[in-house]
Amino acid sequence: MSADANFEEPIRRLKVRIEELRGYPDSPVKTRDIQKLEEKLAKVSNEIYENLSPWQKTLVARHPARPFTLDYVRLLVRDFVEWKGDRAFADDPAIVAGFGLLGDRSVAVVGHQKGRDTKEKIRRNFGMPRPEGYRKALRVMKLAEKFRKPVLSFIDTQGAYPGLDSEERGVAEAIARNLAEMSLLKVPIVATVIGEGGSGGALGIGVADVVLMLEHSVYSVISPEGCAAILWKDQGRAKDAAEAMRVTAADCKALGVVDEVIPEPAGGAHADPISTIDSVGRAINAHLARLSALPVDALLAGRYAKFRGMGAFEGAAAAR
């Protein structure tokens, strides 16, 4: 395993040592040693996570223990009722959609969902939606618009599923329709990149008034492996691609792609999922309070201006 992929090893070793000590009989020496190791763990975690490369951040964004959409739903949204099916073909477990209460506010939720064990990963198709997933999400969002409920979107996918069955049923059209419909949805939309935001598969539920991004998540037009395969015919150069594409939260904020970067605890979101989810909840509530006070015309105008302003560049003056 490369050093880039093995950067968490010092953290892992310290955690193992702490757990071993916890198994010994209680004593003042044990308590003191555990405290010293926990202090060292916090220091090492901070040092490592403050200096992650873009490729290492990509690996963190894909960490299997990071909180997924349903983890956010369980802790933030009360009385959640999940909707299934697109009323055209089938249900897609790679996307979760439904309604619930965020505090006292009724909201619609859509989000990519990955799995933790092998069986669940296969059932969720590794978080890569087929067209029926995007159509299910749109079905819920349109109903949210009808009843004036804001939409929360949680983005976490390497991309839409590119298999033959997905292409046959029109995955590109489904994503394109979502882009068009979300751009004109007459309710507030807050999207949060909680892991990996890849390609149109991410953007298919990512058109929003406010786009938030966790500190160690990534957001890009293609996965680093896909970019490396296209540019250099070598997926092994994914690290170089991640550097070149500027996929990190800091890069996306500087480019105006996202509006706010939410800090993660030392060691990443998977080290303390509860505090991470709490931070995301506070940010969502703050933005919803502001957006909900806007007239519909102002809301849509702001959304249009936000996406219209992306990709601005300066060109040389025309020759006279």
CATH number, position 84: 3.90.226.10
Residue 314 maps to a domain: no
Longest Cα–Cα distance of the chain, Å, equals 85
Identify the DSSP state of 293. T
Same domain, 244 and 296: yes
In a domain, residue 4? The reply is: no
Report the pLDDT value the prediction gives residue 3, as an integer from 0 to 100: 52
Sign of CA dihedral 89, 92, 95, 97: positive
* pLDDT tens per residue, range 15-25: 888 888 888 88
Is residue 316 in some structural domain? no
Cα 292 to Cα 33, 36, 149, 285, 298: the distances in Å are 51, 48, 10, 10, 11
Residue 1 lies in a domain: no
Contact in structure between 284 and 102 (CB atoms under 8 Å): yes
Asked if 209 and 279 sit in the same domain, the reply is yes
Spatial contact of 76 and 102, defined as CB atoms under 8 Å apart: yes
Strand partners, 109: 98, 152
Which residues, given as ranges, of the chain have pLDDT below 70? Answer: 1-5, 312-320
Q: What is the pLDDT of residue 312?
A: 67
Are 122 and 207 contained in the same domain? Answer: yes
Of the residues 51, 66, 85, the one at which a domain ends: 51
Q: What is the per-residue pLDDT for 91?
A: 96
Same-domain pairing of 172 and 213: yes
CA dist 52 → 4, 63, 154, 248, 285 (Å): 9, 14, 23, 10, 29
Q: Is residue 218 domain-resident? A: yes
In tens, the pLDDT along 7-16 reads 888 888 888 8
* Domain with 13 in it: 9-51
Report the distance separating Cα 200 and Cα 205, nearest Å: 9
Q: Are 284 and 108 in contact (CB under 8 A)?
A: no
**27 forms bridges with which residues in the sheet?**
none
Assess whether 47 and 72 both reside in one domain. no
Q: Are residues 165 and 220 in the same domain?
A: yes
Residue whose structure tokens are 């949060």: 192
171 found inside a domain: yes
Is the domain of 14 the same as that of 152?
no
Total number of domains constituting the chain: 2
For residues 123 and 115, the answer to whether their CB atoms sit within 8 Å is: yes
What DSSP character marks residue 318?
Answer: P
The whole-number pLDDT of residue 115 equals 93
Residue 315 lies in a domain: no
Based on the fold, state whether residues 16 and 147 are members of the same structural domain. no
**One domain, residues 45 and 66:** no
The reply to whether 41 and 126 lie within a common domain is no
* Residue 110 forms part of a structural domain: yes
Distances (CA, A) of 7 to 251, 267, 310: 21, 11, 34
Same domain, 62 and 47: no
276 in the same domain as 213: yes
Q: Token pair of 123, please? A: 């059932």
